[in-house]
Structure 1
Amino acid sequence: MAATTMLGGSAMAASPDQHSTPVDFPAADGELMSYVVNAKASNPKKTRDVVRAVAAAGGVAVQQWPEIGVVIVQSESASFRSDILKYGYASVESVGATRTIPVAEGTPDGIYTPWQKAPQQRKKQLAESDLLYGDATFDGVAADPREAEQWSQVQIKADQAHQVTDGSRNVLVGVLDSGIDPNHPDLQANIDVANSVNCTNAGRPDTSPTGWNPTTSSHGTHVAGIIGAARNGVGIVGVAPNVRMASVKVVNDAGSIYPEYAICGFMWAGLKGMDVTNNSYYVDPMQFWCDDQPDQKAVRVAVERAVEWSTKQGVVHAAAAGNASYDLANKTTDDVSPNDSAGIERQINNGCNDMPTELEGVVTVSSTDQAGKLSSFSNRGLNAIDVAAPGSRILSTLPNNGYGLLSGTSMASPQVAGVLALMKSQHPGWKPKQLISQLGKQAEDHICMPSATPTGAECIGKLSNNSYYGEGIVDALQAVL
């Protein structure tokens, strides 16, 4: 996964007026490239105007999102970016290339414009097992065979929370990742097949029966187990073992999460009335997307619109802080972007953001180890980290009925998604802003414990909010009381 790339931290940020190093997003006639085109207004009329301008500029509108005024476009014209601004001067706000290499998956067949209103009221979608078990509370909870190995559950007090509830079947968590093994015995009962989707077909939702299954990566299956492995006498138990999970596949077979995939994932979550999403990735090919570069800013705006819109529909988002031992509050350099071609050593500034974790309203999660220290790989940053959760050597599910240990903020973020799902189960009327506020208030304050991060990565801040733990380590027990 791209989010596992390691990068050294730095103690002093670039000057706010220091421009980031330009990155070339090349295009040549005859090469199929991908773009986001942002309309000046988020409505169907402006989006239709953009689509007409796209055609005039020699592009194909692959996917329209009128709810946010974003159109995903492919074009073989080297001049598409300048032409769309000329033909769409009255309707187009900005355009940005989404990758530095040609589109490998080609152009999807047919025209798909899934403009639909988001659900006005969440409907309970019962699986057959709900008729037997429903939403349960427990006087005593029997352990699954490997639950004693889940030290992370103890650190966030999920084991105590399960004495109160395992969560509600009303709650749906979108796992934006590489797919979930549909046959794993610890996951099968909790996968919401009807609301699962594949977004890697050029950013167009693919609802084919197996499209959302994992192919080349076990990452999504591992993440799903942390969130919602069932309490069924098999293997392990998730943080919220009774909630439903939708597999929203945003990782292609090469391991890339391009902007159009992420936009599709966030929009799908909002359209399907999901309650929580987990995002254990950064949007490729840039580790940080810089507002002083036109292509990068246009992409940032498009992804941000999708996140904001889905949040307005009631979805709360948790995201991994990243595994580069980087200070997100003091950005200086980046040597891995663009990661779909040859990365360059570039200067960046604090106007360059990791997406989606640094977007407004997204819960940014750092990683702790079993001793409660900041994991050596975890990103950090004063007022950049919201909360912390366990992410070192986490036991969870793997494809083909397997189990294994993985480390990363990718493993910390789903702990928080699970806690948010428990909180939503107990407080179904709470909106994202209230859920995030309570998550921080309920988190256990944590002193700045020494960690194995590089020199100059000292913890700064105070007990209630610091650069390692944000507002503290999440507390599942408080979430359900």
Structure 2
Amino acid sequence: MSKTAGRRRGTAAGIALTAALSAAFLAPGIANAAPKPPPQAEIIHGDVMNYAINVTKANNGQTQKAERAVEQAGGEVVASYAEIGVVIAQSDNTVFADTLRLDKAVESVGATRTAPVDTADATYRGDAATTAPERRSAAVTKDMGVEAAGDVVADPRESEQWDMSLIGADAAHQITDGDRNVLVAVLDSGIEATHPDLAANVDATVSAGCNSGVPNTAPEAWQPSTSSHGTHVAGTIAAARNGVGIVGVAPDVRLSSVKVVNDDGFIYPEAAICGFMYATSTGADVTNNSYYIDPWMFWCDNDADQAAVKTAVDRAVQYSQSKGVVNVAAAGNSNIDLANKTTDASSPNDTTPLLRAIDTGCADIPAELDGVVTVSSTTNTSAKSGFSNYGLDVVDVAAPGSAILSTVTGGGYALYSGTSMASPHAAGVAALIKSTHPDMSGQALAGLLSGQATDVPCPVGSVQCVGSPADNGFFGAGMVNALAAVQK
């Protein structure tokens, strides 16, 4: 695991009430005088922006105070999570964040993006949730087929799934294909629920779109529109053994589609927070997160906005993990040493990127948040994929991610590459562990996922890869091992 409503009266109203009561005792003739209303916060109208607000204490009372402060500062609440003390709000007040930071119920406030929210955005107040694509993983055309083993009946294209052989999934399927009680939430661009290899495993009753910042369970909100990314990820995790196409790592577990990617390919914090909270509330055992949260590749502690958003996302992640969820995330595709960051020239990606210095206080989220299982990518020879990020004590495990055959929209199949493709292999193995160890806690399950991994040493002569075969920057604890996962 990565180391690294009713409303209560606000403070101003309380002061006004105290003053009025004092006056009543001093001058009985004005005992019926009404208390002064709270002073109106300064409002300077400008662009519409979204904000993550962290409350000082995660409870209903403090959260309601923060909501009241949002309204007084000219904002509107988009979503509110009293259980983690996070409020998502929208305002066109250019001093909204500065105003909120003065409120005693508020710990920190940060804009969730650098581009204004326009009327076409799903979070724009009054608009419905949209559907989404994914922009980060490129398809490739090289055929990487090898022969699959097993006494079980093979699906037609299973022989092309070298990745399943590499992690021992074909051998694991001789023992079990997983348990229907296990649920994997795919936080992504949506899953095509009618795909013949996925229809049996996608659970519509626990699927939702989160692009509006709140869960929308309508089918059109959580199925894909322009992107196959989430469908590809889902196939790697749990394409069914049904005599059609391919077979996933855990072909008998259930999937929920939790859409967090908008039509422009962005995963904004409010959607991701909604995704983690919704997955937790619907009983997910594992989440797969093949993305980083936009618009910053790295969210830094030395920036007030970025630090506040990082805290809000982390609260959602830590809450989910406290409820037993195992969160698995892609390490990223920039061939960066996450343990030794120096510069970032790609952020913010929703306006104009700036070259900036970064350090260990800057994190790829959710991959570098505490407790998240971070996955690097390998080729069919167990070498690190050239695009994969890496980092000692950041990467937890490795999995195949180069030229992976899986399901795509339109009922088809394609080869994609990326750590986005590696992460679902690890999520699938986690689902197999949960299937064979149903009473295991999420923390123990994540530990076993790393503990059962097959050691992969650093390449001979490599200066980038540091550490031992059992824990190094390229492969973490090693290659995930599906067979070990099902052997009690």
What range describes the TM-score normalised by the shorter chain of this pair?
0.7 to 0.9
Moved more, 427-436 or 441-450: 441-450
Tell me the amino acid that sits aligned with residue 160 of structure 1: A
Tell me the amino acid that sits aligned with residue 278 of structure 1: N
Q: 208, 222, 226: which is aligned to 1:216? A: 226
Q: 256, 263, 266: which is aligned to 1:246? A: 256
State the secondary structure of the residue aligned to 2:200.
Answer: helix
Q: 83, 105, 108: which is aligned to 1:94? A: 108
Tell me the amino acid that sits aligned with residue 39 of structure 1: V
Distance, in Å, in 1 between the alignment partners of 2:65 and 2:44 is 26
Q: 75, 78, 84: which is aligned to 1:62? A: 78
Matched-pair contact (CA < 8 Å) for 2:80–2:87 = yes
Distance, in Å, in 2 between the alignment partners of 1:227 and 1:109 is 35
Tell me the amino acid that sits aligned with residue 387 of structure 1: V
Task: Look up the match of 1:161.
Answer: 172
Matched-pair contact (CA < 8 Å) for 1:273–1:313 = no
1:30 Cα offset (Å):
3.2
Task: Look up the match of 1:480.
Answer: 486
Q: 46, 63, 72: which is aligned to 1:47? A: 63
Higher-Rg structure is 2
State the secondary structure of the residue aligned to 1:32.
Answer: strand
Task: Look up the match of 1:461.
Answer: 467
Q: 314, 326, 345: which is aligned to 1:335? A: 345
Task: Look up the match of 1:8.
Answer: none
Matched-pair contact (CA < 8 Å) for 1:54–1:61 = yes
Q: Percent identity?
A: 56
Distance, in Å, in 1 between the alignment partners of 2:100 and 2:216 is 27
Task: Please tell me whether residue 109 in structure 1 is matched to residue 126 in structure 2.
Answer: yes
Tell me the amino acid that sits aligned with residue 443 of structure 1: A
Q: TM-score, normalised by structure 2?
A: 0.84
Tell me the amino acid that sits aligned with residue 109 of structure 1: G
Distance, in Å, in 2 between the alignment partners of 1:321 and 1:336 is 16
State the secondary structure of the residue aligned to 1:379.
Answer: coil
Structure 1 regions of 5+ residues with no counterpart?
A: 1-26, 112-138
Task: Look up the match of 1:444.
Answer: 454
Task: Look up the match of 1:174.
Answer: 185
Task: Please tell me whether residue 354 in structure 1 is matched to residue 392 in structure 2.
Answer: no
Alignment of 1:280-291 (within 5 A): 280-291=290-301
1:312 Cα offset (Å):
1.1
Tell me the amino acid that sits aligned with residue 107 of structure 1: Y
Distance, in Å, in 2 between the alignment partners of 1:383 and 1:427 is 26
Task: Please tell me whether residue 200 in structure 1 is matched to residue 217 in structure 2.
Answer: no
Task: Please tell me whether residue 77 in structure 1 is matched to residue 93 in structure 2.
Answer: yes
1:344 Cα offset (Å):
0.7
Distance, in Å, in 1 between the alignment partners of 2:278 and 2:52 is 17
Matched-pair contact (CA < 8 Å) for 2:324–2:443 = no
Q: Cα deviations across residues 122-153 of structure 1 (Å, max 9, x unaligned)?
A: xxxxxxxxxxxxxxxxx931100000000000
Q: Cα deviations across residues 357-393 of structure 1 (Å, max 9, x unaligned)?
A: 0000000000000111000000000111100000000
State the secondary structure of the residue aligned to 1:217.
Answer: coil
Tell me the amino acid that sits aligned with residue 270 of structure 2: E
Tell me the amino acid that sits aligned with residue 85 of structure 1: R
Tell me the amino acid that sits aligned with residue 419 of structure 1: V
Matched-pair contact (CA < 8 Å) for 2:188–2:230 = yes
Distance, in Å, in 2 between the alignment partners of 1:450 and 1:258 is 40
Tell me the amino acid that sits aligned with residue 63 of structure 1: A
Task: Look up the match of 2:154.
Answer: 143
Distance, in Å, in 2 between the alignment partners of 1:361 and 1:469 is 17
Distance, in Å, in 2 between the alignment partners of 1:399 and 1:457 is 41
1:28 Cα offset (Å):
7.7
Q: Cα deviations across residues 420-472 of structure 1 (Å, max 9, x unaligned)?
A: 00000000111111011111111000111269xxxx86211111111110000
Distance, in Å, in 2 between the alignment partners of 1:432 and 1:289 is 26
Structure 1 residues 412 and 457: alpha-carbon distance in aligned structure 2, compared to 1, 3 A threshold:
farther
State the secondary structure of the residue aligned to 1:366.
Answer: strand
Tell me the amino acid that sits aligned with residue 58 of structure 2: S
Matched-pair contact (CA < 8 Å) for 2:246–2:406 = yes
Task: Look up the match of 2:21.
Answer: none
1:102 Cα offset (Å):
1.3
Task: Please tell me whether residue 306 in structure 1 is matched to residue 323 in structure 2.
Answer: no
Tell me the amino acid that sits aligned with residue 372 of structure 1: S
Structure 1 residues 221 and 28: alpha-carbon distance in aligned structure 2, compared to 1, 3 A threshold:
farther
Tell me the amino acid that sits aligned with residue 223 of structure 1: V
Alignment of 1:428-443 (within 5 A): 428-443=438-453
1:330 Cα offset (Å):
0.1
Tell me the amino acid that sits aligned with residue 99 of structure 1: R
Tell me the amino acid that sits aligned with residue 273 of structure 2: I
State the secondary structure of the residue aligned to 2:413.
Answer: strand
1:29 Cα offset (Å):
2.6
Task: Look up the match of 2:8.
Answer: none
Q: TM-score, normalised by structure 1?
A: 0.86
Distance, in Å, in 1 between the alignment partners of 2:269 and 2:314 is 10
List 4+ stretches of structure 1 deviating above 4 A. Answer: none
Structure 1 residues 407 and 450: alpha-carbon distance in aligned structure 2, compared to 1, 3 A threshold:
farther
Matched-pair contact (CA < 8 Å) for 1:366–1:388 = yes
Question: How many correspondences in the alignment?
Answer: 421
Distance, in Å, in 1 between the alignment partners of 2:359 and 2:246 is 42
Distance, in Å, in 1 between the alignment partners of 2:422 and 2:238 is 14
Tell me the amino acid that sits aligned with residue 33 of structure 1: M
Q: Cα deviations across residues 54-107 of structure 1 (Å, max 9, x unaligned)?
A: 001110011111110100000011010111123xx2200000000011113253
RMSD: 1.6
1:108 Cα offset (Å):
3.7
Matched-pair contact (CA < 8 Å) for 1:270–1:315 = yes
Task: Please tell me whether residue 400 in structure 1 is matched to residue 410 in structure 2.
Answer: yes
Q: Cα deviations across residues 400-420 of structure 1 (Å, max 9, x unaligned)?
A: 011000000000000000000
1:293 Cα offset (Å):
0.8
Structure 1 residues 408 and 450: alpha-carbon distance in aligned structure 2, compared to 1, 3 A threshold:
farther
Distance, in Å, in 2 between the alignment partners of 1:205 and 1:76 is 24
Tell me the amino acid that sits aligned with residue 153 of structure 1: M
